[in-house]
Amino acid sequence: MEQAETLIEIKNLTFSRGERKIFDDITLSIPKGKVTAIMGPSGSGKTTLLKLIAGQLKPDSGDVFIEGLHVHGLSRKKIYQLRRKMGMLFQSGALLTDLNVFDNVAFPLREHTKLPEEIIYALVLMKLQAVGLRGAKTLMPSELSGGMSRRVALARGIALDPEMIFYDEPFVGQDPITKGVLVKLIQTLNDSLGLTSVLVSHDVDEVLEIADYICVISEGKLIAEGSKEVLLQESTGYVHQFLNGLPDGPVPFHFSKAPYSEDLKYG
């Protein structure tokens, strides 16, 4: 591990949904001021991990520390204070459907600052420009495509210039050009503002381009973590399979654990 300061520390985290263990004793740390990518098969719990970090879900056991604060032991008020330093891009966008694009991006500014409307206007246009949607500012969320909503959500997530930002699959549904723009945007935000980014994504190329640090989770375990140089050197095993997109290997592609032949038996 590099000598970077740790911002988020996850210790022995265990979490289950009903009977199913999503995380089994995961320990990992996310360095400050870097882009950390979390990768793993679909359904492996990446979104769940972000929600655990942000304190929206409570772990069965284990702890999450952000800047030394024990997230799940904080009072409601403290946790809301902490969240002011976070930005989150939801996988679904999660725009407020009764506000138009402009008001959605302006929303955190209006709620958390007392800035005059002119300044809010300028800030919002700046953020919308950054995601290439300045022209869409009067549209309602229902009039946006999936990729557009997610970009608006990204603009909203960065509206308050947070200290740490979580991107849940920012590249899904974006065309190659937009993808390139977003990669640049994430990189610029990280470098110029010095914020800490946690990036959940399946797009290996993009991740390799911007991530300083990569964690791979599968089946409730952290199976690899390290700088991308280190991970790329692996030529066998899970990580090799995952980063190269090989269909067969140690990471099971299928959700179910029962052998296929068993499941095929009708009834």
Ligand X SMILES: Nc1ncnc2c1ncn2[C@@H]1O[C@H](COP(=O)(O)OP(=O)(O)OP(=O)(O)O)[C@@H](O)[C@H]1O
Could you tell me which stretch among 86-94, 129-137, 174-182, 211-219 binds another protein (CB under 8 A)? 86-94
Q: Binder to another protein among 35, 52, 54, 130 (CB under 8 A)?
A: 54
70 binds, among ligand X, Mg ion, another protein, none (CB under 5 to 8 A by kind): none
Nearer to ligand X by Cβ, of 18 and 267: the residue is: 18
Does 262 engage in binding with another protein (CB under 8 A)? no
CB of 243 to another protein, least distance (A): 29
For residues 199 to 218, the per-residue mask of contacts with ligand X, x marking binding by CB under 6 A and - elsewhere, is: --------------------
Nearer to another protein by Cβ, of 56 and 129: the residue is: 56
Concatenating the DSSP letter of every residue in the chain gives --SPPEEEEEEEEEEEETTEEEEEEEEEEEETTSEEEEE--TTSSHHHHHHHHTTSS--SEEEEEETTEEGGGS-HHHHHHHHTTEEEE-TT----TTS-HHHHHHHHHHHH----HHHHHHHHHHHHHHTT-GGGTT--GGGS-HHHHHHHHHHHHTTT--SEEEEESTTTT--HHHHHHHHHHHHHHHHHH--EEEEE---HHHHHHH-SEEEEEETTEEEEEEEHHHHHH--SHHHHHHHHT-SSSSS-S-S--S-HHHHHS--
Q: Binder to Mg ion among 6, 47, 187, 227 (CB under 5 A)?
A: 47
Does 14 engage in binding with ligand X (CB under 6 A)? no
Could you tell me which stretch among 37-45, 155-163, 184-192, 231-239 binds ligand X (CB under 6 A)? 37-45
**Residues that bind Mg ion in the complex, under the rule CB under 5 A:** 47, 91
**Residues that bind another protein in the complex, under the rule CB under 8 A:** 51, 54, 56, 76, 80-81, 83-84, 86-88, 90, 92, 94-97, 107-108, 111-112, 153, 156
